[in-house]
């Protein structure tokens, strides 16, 4: 593998955000979201992303988030309609004591979620990447919704008939597909992890976490983190560049326990500091390994305007992909 990387030059990824600054942004966000009964949420999200992107630097230059609340608002409303429709139906069925109807609603919701996952992922990738740039060069996602959906439905089927064992492969297939179609200008991405490796990580993680009464969970999370980060490759003008993350289980333990205390004892007011701690931990522990040339990226993407699924994916809690 070492021959892939023609030099040992390291390029730092850095997060320079400050808890106090993010707190200032978030406080305004909270207040406005609260007094507008949630309508401000997409704008709040844009404010936060603009800050965290702007404070993330590669080779000294920050990333930029170009998205706006206005763009994401429509998606937010659509997601809201879906959620409200689900709960209205559920409430109706529950109060009518119609347990058959309740189970039908759950089934319908489950099917809708399965059907919507690829749509939401695709939409989010398209939008989020098109709104992300570095030195004026935009990211872009060029996957096809049809391909992604078919592969996802096929994998869900396999996961169900294997009683969940296939889930690791499902996750990796999704990741590989999305990475393969992700670009940062003329840089192409790739994901080299395999379902087998992920399966072993899950297996080891679950067994050891069980045996150690959960203490191993931090190392389990670390293994997942390293698996996803360190198998990510960038290809620039024929050179391969690898993400190189060096987080430790102990580091994760400190991060997670610290954040819990931070959020808990401040009744949530400390959340921005916890967010900054997490981003620092993840980003500052990641380098680019290889011959990355920060000056030779070329713009390749067209303008894209569709934020409909940005928030659908949010509500569906798709953080796991």
Partner 1 sequence: MGVATSHMTEFAGTYYDGQSSRGLPVQVVVEPGGLALHFAAPEEEPDIPPVFWPALQIRPHAYRERDKTVLQFGEFPFQSLEVHSPTFADIIKQAYPTAVFHKNALPAPKGGMPVLLLLGVAFLGLMVACYVYLLPAIADLIAQKIPQAAEERMGQQFYKQFVSEDEVDSARTVLANQFLRQLEVDTTYPLHVTVVESETVNAFALPGGHMVVYSGLLDKLQSPEEFAALLGHEAAHIQERHSMRSLARNLSHYLFLSIVFNDISGISAVVLENADKLKSLEYSRNLEQEADKLGFSLLKANKLDPAGMQHLFQRLQSEDKDTGSLPSLLSTHPLTDERIQHLKELMKQQPYATAPAPDLEKLWEKLEKN
100 binds partner 1 (CB under 8 A): no
Of 15, 40, 43, 51, which one interacts with partner 1 (CB under 8 A)? 51
Backbone angles phi, psi at 192, to 5 degrees: -100, 0
H-helix or E-strand spanning residue 14: strand 10-15
Among 59-67, 171-179, 189-197, 248-256, the segment contacting partner 1 (CB under 8 A): 59-67
What is the Cβ-side half-sphere exposure of residue 135, based on CA atoms within 13 angstroms?
Answer: 14
Radius of gyration of the chain (CA): 21
Q: Using CA atoms, how far apart are residues 266 and 116, in angstroms rounded to an integer?
A: 36
Longest dimension (CA), the chain: 68
295 binds partner 1 (CB under 8 A): yes
320 binds partner 1 (CB under 8 A): no
Number of residues that bind partner 1 (CB under 8 A): 52
Q: Using CA atoms, how far apart are residues 286 and 13, in angstroms rounded to an integer?
A: 6
137 binds partner 1 (CB under 8 A): yes
Output the smallest distance, CB 229 to partner 1, in A.
Answer: 23
Closest to partner 1 by CB, 84 or 207: 84
Locus of tokens 């850095």: 14
Number of other residues whose CB lies within 10 A of the CB of residue 165: 13
H-helix or E-strand spanning residue 244: strand 239-245
Of 104, 136, 246, 248, which one interacts with partner 1 (CB under 8 A)? 136
Closest to partner 1 by CB, 108 or 203: 108
297 binds partner 1 (CB under 8 A): yes
190 binds partner 1 (CB under 8 A): no
Among left, alpha and beta (phi > 0; psi -120 to 50; other), residue 164 is left
Among 3-11, 25-33, 193-201, 241-249, the segment contacting partner 1 (CB under 8 A): 25-33
152 binds partner 1 (CB under 8 A): no
Full DSSP string of 162-206: TTTTTHHHHHHHHHHHHHHTEEETTEEEEE---HHHHHHHHHHHH
- What does the per-residue mask of binding to partner 1 show for 249-278, with x meaning CB under 8 A? ------------------xxx---------
Output the smallest distance, CB 69 to partner 1, in A.
Answer: 11
Q: Using CA atoms, how far apart are residues 24 and 171, in angstroms rounded to an integer?
A: 36
9 binds partner 1 (CB under 8 A): no
> 51 and 25 in contact (C-beta within 8 Å)?
yes
306 binds partner 1 (CB under 8 A): no
Of 9, 14, 25, 321, which one interacts with partner 1 (CB under 8 A)? 25
11 binds partner 1 (CB under 8 A): no
Residues lying near partner 1 in the complex (CB under 8 A) are found at 18-25, 27, 30-31, 34, 38, 47, 50-51, 54, 61-62, 64, 66, 83, 86-87, 90-91, 94-98, 102, 134-138, 185, 267-269, 294-299, 301-303, 315, 317
């Amino acid at each position: 593998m070492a021959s892939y990387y023609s030099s040992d030059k390291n390029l730092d990824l850095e997060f320079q955000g400050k808890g106090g600054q993010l707190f200032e942004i978030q406080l305004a966000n909270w207040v406005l979201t609260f007094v507008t009964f949630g309508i401000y949420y997409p704008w709040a999200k844009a404010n936060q992303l603009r800050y965290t992107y702007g404070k993330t630097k590669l080779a000294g230059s920050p990333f930029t988030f170009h998205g706006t609340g206005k763009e994401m608002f429509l998606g937010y409303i659509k997601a809201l309609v879906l959620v409200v429709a689900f709960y209205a139906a559920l409430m109706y069925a529950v109060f009518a004591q119609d347990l058959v109807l309740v189970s039908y609603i759950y089934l319908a919701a489950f099917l809708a979620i399965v059907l919507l996952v690829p749509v939401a992922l695709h939409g989010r990738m398209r939008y989020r990447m098109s709104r992300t740039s570095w030195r004026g060069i935009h990211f872009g996602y060029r996957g096809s919704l049809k391909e992604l959906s078919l592969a996802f439905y096929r994998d869900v089927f396999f996961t169900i008939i294997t009683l969940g064992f296939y889930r690791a492969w499902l996750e990796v297939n999704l990741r590989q597909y999305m990475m393969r179609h992700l670009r940062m200008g003329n840089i192409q991405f790739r994901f080299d992890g395999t379902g087998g490796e992920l399966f072993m990580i899950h297996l080891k993680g679950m067994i050891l976490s069980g045996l150690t009464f959960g203490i191993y969970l931090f190392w389990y999370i670390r293994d997942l983190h390293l698996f996803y980060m360190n198998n990510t490759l960038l290809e620039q003008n024929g050179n391969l560049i690898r993400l190189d993350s060096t987080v430790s289980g102990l580091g994760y333990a400190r991060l997670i326990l610290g954040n819990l205390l931070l959020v808990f004892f401040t009744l949530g007011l400390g959340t921005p500091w916890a967010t900054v701690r997490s981003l620092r931990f993840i980003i500052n522990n990641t380098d680019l390994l290889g011959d990355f040339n920060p000056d030779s990226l070329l713009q390749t993407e067209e303008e894209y305007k569709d934020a409909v699924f940005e928030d659908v994916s949010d509500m569906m809690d798709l953080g796991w992909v």
